[in-house]
Amino acid sequence: MKNHVLRPLIVVGVIVASMLVARAIVVPSDFGVHERGYMYGWHRLSNEQEWKAVQVRYKTSAGCPRCHPDKAADLANSPHNIISCENCHGPALEHPKDPAGYFIDRSRTLCIRCHAKLPYGNTPRGRIRGIDPDKHYVQAECVMCHIPHNPKPTNQKQEVKS
C-alpha cells in the first residue's frame, strides 16, 4: 500500500486503540452489568447501595393541600394548577420539619422563567402569556400585582399572602 493510504489508516488505528485502552482504564468493570446480563444505560452494580442511601429531595404536591387548603383551592381553578408546588417553592424535603427555614421565592426571576415573552407561539411554552421583562414594571416584583396561586388578571392590586 502507498504511504498516502497507509499513514491515515495507522493514525485511525492508533486513535481507536487509544480509545479502547482509555475505556478499559476509566470505565469501571461492572458498568452496564445487571443480574440478567449486560444492560445498556448508566447502571453500575457497585453503586446501588450508594443510590439507595440518597435521600429524595422532592415530595410532590400531593401532601401540600393537607396543610395549605386555601392555597390548593386557589390553585385548583388557576392556570398554574398543572405546575407542581415544588417548581416554584423548591424541594419540600425539609418542609414541614423546618417551616421557618422553608424559603418562599418571590423574586421576579422565578416568574420570568416561564413568563418572558417568546417570539414564537407554536409551542406549548410559546403559548404561555408573556411579558417583556425589560419593560413591564421593571422596578416591581410580580407578586405586588399578581397572586401566583391564582394569577387571573384583574384591574386592581391584590393582597399576596404567604
Cell of 77: 381553578
Confirm whether 84 is domain-assigned.
yes
Amino acid (1-letter code) at residue 162: S
pLDDT in tens, 126-160: 888 889 999 999 999 998 888 888 876 554 444 44
Q: How many domains does the chain have?
A: 1
Confirm whether 19 is domain-assigned.
no
CB half-sphere exposure, 7, CA atoms < 13 A: 3
Segments forming the whole domain that contains residue 93: 61-144
Handedness of CA 52, 57, 60, 61 (dihedral sign): positive
Confirm whether 20 is domain-assigned.
no
Average pLDDT per run of 10 along the chain, which is 162 residues long? 85 97 88 71 78 83 87 86 86 74 80 88 83 91 87 53 46
Rounded to whole angstroms, the Cα distance separating 4 from 9 reads: 9
Confirm whether 21 is domain-assigned.
no
Is the whole model's pTM more than 0.75, yes or no?
Answer: no
Confirm whether 51 is domain-assigned.
no
Confirm whether 135 is domain-assigned.
yes
